[in-house]
Homo-oligomer: A and B are copies of this chain.
């Protein structure tokens, strides 16, 4: 039977509150400030569990280690080719419906059973664009 743990609570809570997509290491460092006895293994263990329960999402990054996302609103990710950061892009009801319909249609072409889809947009984010402009 699943038991309560303060560690799991603050991990989930923190991921829901923050708007970035931290690595396990980053999250660990930040949480260690408010709970110094916290161990990195506990963070990894809980992140894996929370993903399995569908409460958070693991985001694969092109460059560095995996990122974790606690944003509960339906969204897709924009990954910056320069800094590697992720930005959430929110979709309207219509966009979501449209997307899922076309995805489902595509899936039938391989006779596979479609469940959901992940879309990663790639490009340069606002922040890096500004930096690039300044450097030039």
Contacts and interface: CB of A to CB of B under 8 A. Distances in A.
Contacts of A126: 110-112
Given A62-B60, A89-B106, A106-B89, A78 B121 contact: no
B110 A125 contact: yes
A107 interface: yes
A76 to B, nearest CB: 7
Contact of A123 (B58, B95, B109, B113): B113
A94 to B, nearest CB: 11
A39 B32 CA distance: 41
22 contacts: A60-B60, A76-B106, A78-B107, A80-B112, A87-B112, A89-B107, A107-B123, A110-B126, A111-B126, A112-B123, A112-B125, A112-B126, A112-B129, A113-B124, A114-B122, A115-B122, A115-B123, A115-B124, A116-B122, A116-B123, A117-B122, A118-B120
